[in-house]
Amino acid sequence: MDNPNGANPNAPPPFDLEKLRKESDGSMSGMATNLFHQVVQGNPYFAAGGGLMVLGSCLALTRSAVIRVSGLLYRQLLVDMEIPSKDKSYLWFLEWMAKHPHRSSRHLSVETNFIQHDNGAVSTKFSLVPGPGNHLIRYKGAFMLIKRERSGKMIDMTNGAPFETVTLTTLYRDRLLFRDLLSDAKNLAVKAKDGKTVIFTSWGPEWRPFGQPKAKRLLPSVILDKGIKQNILKDVKEFLQNGKWYFERGIPYRRGYLLYGPPGSGKTSFIQALAGELDYNICIMNLSEANLTDDRLNHLMNNIPERSILLLEDIDAAFNKRSQSSEAGFQSGVTFSGLLNALDGVASSEETITFMTTNHPEVLDPAIMRPGRIDYKVFVGNATPYQIGEMFMKFYPGEEKFCQSFVEKATSLDVSISTAQLQGLFVFNKDAPESALKMVETLKFPNHVF
C-alpha cells in the first residue's frame, strides 16, 4: 500500500543531528561513532549487503581452507612421480604397462614393431600402450593412477614429436614401489634385447634404434684370415679390462680401430659379430652421408648410447673435400678436420670403442693415424685359400673332398675373390657342393649375378 505521505517505508530515516549531538557528548569522535551506528544499523540495504558480504567472505575463506587442507592431505598422503618423454625409462614404462595384467585403461595407443626371429623371418607386433589420459593400475597390491599427458604446444625439435609426460600417483606409504616398478620395466626391456644386438643409426642429432634388436651375429660365422679375429678380440678385451689404468693416468678411455680393405671382405660383418660377442650394441654412421655436418658428427660421437661400439663407415669420405659448403644449408658433409675434432673430443666417462672402415686407405691423411685416433689397424682383404676353405666348410659341413677341389680350382683362377662373392655362390647352390664346384669359374667375374 502506498504511503499517504508519498514516503518510502523502507527508506532509511533521515539523520537527526540534534539527537546525535546529545548522545555524543558534543565531541567530534563521539558524533562520528554515532553517525556510523545510525547509517549501518538503521539502514536495511546496508545491513543486507553487509550480511551478504560476510557470508561471501566466509564462503571464500572456507573454500580456500578446503583447498589448503586437501593440498596438505594430498602432499601428506599421496606422492607423484613424473617420467618425461626424454627420459630413457619412458619407453620402458609404456612397454611394461602394455604388458601389465592389472590395469584399467580406456585410452590406448598402438605401437607397431617388426620383430626379426632367429630364422631371419620378420613378423609384425602391435603393442597396445596406454594412450593420453588416465589409467589405473594395481602393482604389488598398491593402486596407482597413471596420467599420460601430451603438451599441445611444445615439441621436441630433434624429432618433431610432442613432449609428453607420464605421472604416477600413489599413496605416500607405497612410494618405494616406484623404484621397483622402474627396475621391473628396465629388466623387461633388457630381457627383450637379450641375445640381440641393437643397431642405432643417427636421426638428426640423436641415435635411434634401427628396427628391432637383431639376433646376434656369431663370431665364427665371419671368416677372416688366420689370427685377425682373435687378435682384435684380445685387444678389445684387454682395453675393456683396463679402465682404471686409463683413469689413473688421465688418458681418455677410448680406442680406435681401422679395418681397411676391398668391399665385401667382411669388415662390417666382423664388427657386428664382435659387438654380439662383447654384448654391445652398435651405432653406425656413414661418413659419406650427404647431410652429415661436422657439428652433427661431433654431437653424435659425444652422445653414444651406453655399451655401444661406434662404427664409422667409409671414413675416406671425410678426406674428399677439405671445406664444407654448409652455409647453403645443403651440400655439406664431414670434413677432415671435423672428423679429427670429433675423434679427439670424444670424452666419455665410459669406454669408447670406435671402429672405422674404408676401402681406400691410400687417401687417408697420416694425421688420422695418430694413437688416440687410430690405435690399431688391420687389413681385411680378399679371400685367401684358408678363407675359401673355411667358407666352403661353413656352408657344406662334412664335405672335405669337394672343399679341397674347390680351393684348388678357385686359387688357380688367379683372380681376387671377395668373401661376399663366395657367399653369393654358396647361397645360390644351397646344399649342393658339387654344383658350387662346377660353377667356380663364375668367381672370375666379381659382378656375376646368378
Ligand X SMILES: Nc1ncnc2c1ncn2[C@@H]1O[C@H](COP(=O)(O)OP(=O)(O)OP(=O)(O)O)[C@@H](O)[C@H]1O
* Contacting positions for ligand X (CB under 6 A): 222-224, 263-269, 357, 359, 419-420, 423
Beginning with the edge strand found earlier in the chain, give each strand of the sheet holding 199-203 in spatial order.
206-209, 199-203, 281-286, 308-313, 352-358, 254-260, 376-379
* Shortest distance in whole angstroms from residue 357 CB to ligand X: 6
Alpha carbons 82 and 165: distance in angstroms, whole number:
7
The residue type found at 267 is K
* Shortest distance in whole angstroms from residue 177 CB to ligand X: 47
The nearer residue to ligand X, 223 or 437, going by C-beta atoms, is: 223
* Shortest distance in whole angstroms from residue 223 CB to ligand X: 4
User: Which candidate, 324, 346, 341, 342, places its Cα nearest to that of 333?
Assistant: 324
The nearer residue to ligand X, 269 or 335, going by C-beta atoms, is: 269
DSSP letters for 289-317:
-TT--HHHHHHHHTSPPSSEEEEEE-GGG
CB atoms < 10 A from the CB of 135, how many?
21
The nearer residue to ligand X, 138 or 226, going by C-beta atoms, is: 226
The nearer residue to ligand X, 229 or 296, going by C-beta atoms, is: 229
* Shortest distance in whole angstroms from residue 194 CB to ligand X: 23
Alpha carbons 315 and 357: distance in angstroms, whole number:
6
The nearer residue to ligand X, 130 or 424, going by C-beta atoms, is: 424
* Shortest distance in whole angstroms from residue 372 CB to ligand X: 24
The nearer residue to ligand X, 245 or 379, going by C-beta atoms, is: 379
Q: Compute CA distances 10 → 5, 19, 48, 375, whole Å.
A: 13, 21, 13, 103
Task: Enumerate residues 6+ apart whose C-beta is below 8 A from 441.
Answer: 413
CB 417 within 8 A of CB 392: no
Strand 122-130, strand 108-116: pairing: antiparallel
The nearer residue to ligand X, 127 or 288, going by C-beta atoms, is: 288
Quote the DSSP letter at residue 10: T
* Shortest distance in whole angstroms from residue 120 CB to ligand X: 12
The nearer residue to ligand X, 144 or 310, going by C-beta atoms, is: 310
The residue type found at 76 is Q
User: Which candidate, 320, 321, 364, 362, places its Cα nearest to that of 343?
Assistant: 364
* Shortest distance in whole angstroms from residue 263 CB to ligand X: 3
CA angle 199, 380, 413 (to 5 degrees): 125
The nearer residue to ligand X, 264 or 433, going by C-beta atoms, is: 264
* Shortest distance in whole angstroms from residue 260 CB to ligand X: 9
CB atoms < 10 A from the CB of 123, how many?
10
